[in-house]
Amino acid sequence: MTRAPQKRRLETRARLLEVAAAIVQEQGYSGLRVEDVVARAGVAKGTLFSHFKDKDGLLAVLIGDEVMRLLDGMEAGAPPQGAAELTARLAPHLDYVGQDRVIFDLLLRYSGTTAAEPDEVVTAGFIRQVTLLTRWLEVLQTAGRIRQDQPPELLAEGIQAFLNHVLGVWFCMEHDDETPPAKALEPYLKAWLKPAR
């Protein structure tokens, strides 16, 4: 008979996340070192890896939480009225992911998965985002403001592809180019959602 996780353990886990979030706040995602986290949390290194599969597993929870918060904001507002407005609604997401390559890499690594395990907040976020997009697109389709010849799921996943594309280009440019992701996304969305005969 296996026992449920005890209170003390959950506290430790919470403290680890708390400390990690604080360090990210101070030094950015790329500055997060496992040794710092465990030191400030007052636990041994092995403990961290008993709570999270690896460093990415820890980051996934942090980033997943943030994505969830962004999605709360997106869901709260009114659905977009047209293809152009869609870009604006996605801008917060692009801004967040675009600020640090670590976020982007991690989201890419997990964002295609459909099976959601307890800790996989990232995966859950991905599913939620595609679901939200699909719902929006359905509305736009019935309103006749975008193409109707494709299922909304396909269109939604296509938008995901474009999101990642413009972000990938953004990071490869190393910010020489001053075209922010949100701006770069527009032509793709316009062409992708344009009504077809």
Partner DNA sequence: TTTTATAATTGACCGCGGTCATTTTTGATT
Partner DNA sequence: AATCAAAAATGACCGCGGTCAATTATAAAA
Q: Extract the runs of DSSP E, i.e. beta strands, from 10-88.
A: none
Token reading at 142: 């019935």
Among 14, 22, 27, 45, binds DNA (CB under 7 A): 45
Report the nearest approach of its own copies to the CB of residue 190 (Å).
Answer: 9
Among 19, 29, 51, 146, binds DNA (CB under 7 A): 51
Q: Which of 101, 110, 107, 94 is nearest to 166 (CA)?
A: 94
Among 24, 32, 106, 159, binds DNA (CB under 7 A): 32
Number of residues that bind its own copies (CB under 8 A): 33
Q: Does 109 bind its own copies (CB under 8 A)?
A: yes
Per partner kind, with CB cut-offs from 5 to 8 A, the member of its own copies, DNA, none near residue 173 is its own copies
Identify the three-state secondary structure at position 112.
coil
Q: Which string of x and - marks every residue 119-148 that binds its own copies (by CB under 8 A)?
A: ----------------------------x-
Element (H, E) at 121: helix 121-142
Output the CA–CA distances (angstroms, integers) from residue 31 to 17, 34, 59, 118, 158, in the order listed.
15, 10, 12, 26, 33
- Name residue, tokens 């594309």: 165
Per partner kind, with CB cut-offs from 5 to 8 A, the member of its own copies, DNA, none near residue 33 is DNA
Distance between CA atoms of 80 and 126, rounded to whole angstroms?
19
Distance between CA atoms of 142 and 35, rounded to whole angstroms?
53
Per partner kind, with CB cut-offs from 5 to 8 A, the member of its own copies, DNA, none near residue 187 is its own copies
Q: Does 197 bind DNA (CB under 7 A)?
A: no
Q: Check: CB of residue 86 under 8 Å from CB of residue 74.
A: no
Residues in the chain: 197
List of residues contacting its own copies (CB under 8 A): 108-114, 147, 149-150, 154-155, 157-158, 160-162, 164-165, 168-173, 187-188, 191-192, 194-197
